[in-house]
Amino acid sequence: MIQDVLAATFVAGDEKKRAKALLDRKFRGMNLRDPKTFRRAGAFLQRRGYSSQVIFDLMGRRAEED
């Protein structure tokens, strides 16, 4: 029962959306192609408790978009 509630509450898609919104808000106007900024953004999301898979998916796409 607990697993069902947690699964319904914390859907992976929602986690990605929240991470993207947080990244956009915190690093607005910064160039994520810069290696130092890129590492800082990844570490920031990690400290906020986002899973490695979400960070990798988001940062991988972010690096390709810029």
What's the pLDDT tens digit per position in 39-66? Answer: 999 999 999 999 899 999 988 866 555 4
Residue 25 has pLDDT above 60, yes or no: yes
3-state per-residue secondary structure call for the chain? CHHHHHHHHCCHHHHHHHHHHHHHHHCCCCCCCCHHHHHHHHHHHHHCCCCHHHHHHHHHHHHHHC
Question: What residue segments make up the domains of the chain, in order of their start?
Answer: 2-65
Mean pLDDT of 31-45: 93
pTM, entire model: 0.72
Q: What pLDDT is recorded for position 32?
A: 87
